[in-house]
Amino acid sequence: MLQKLKIIIKDEYGRDLTDSEVFELGNGLVRYFKALKRLKLSQQFANMKMHINENTNT
């Protein structure tokens, strides 16, 4: 996957990255999307809790 990312960066941005640079970029992307996933799950749980509370209060 890192080699594919390296090719994408070269094709789209004209930059040749070293293996360590593409590794850091790849790790950063993974951390970013993990954080987004946690945020989405957190919001879904908050919505479920709010929905449950609304149903128990009526």
pLDDT in the model for residue 55: 75
Integer angstrom CA distances of residue 47 from 10, 12, 38, 39, 40: 42, 39, 14, 12, 10
Integer angstrom CA distances of residue 7 from 19, 22, 28, 43: 12, 10, 17, 35
Q: Is the pLDDT of residue 11 over 80?
A: yes
Number of domains in the chain: 1
Provide the mean pLDDT of the chain: 89
First to last CA, the chain: 51
Pairwise pLDDT comparison (38 vs 56), residue with the higher score: 38
Pairwise pLDDT comparison (40 vs 55), residue with the higher score: 40
Q: Is the pLDDT of residue 58 over 90?
A: no
pLDDT in the model for residue 20: 97
pLDDT in the model for residue 4: 96
Q: Please give the residue range of the domain that contains residue 31.
A: 2-57
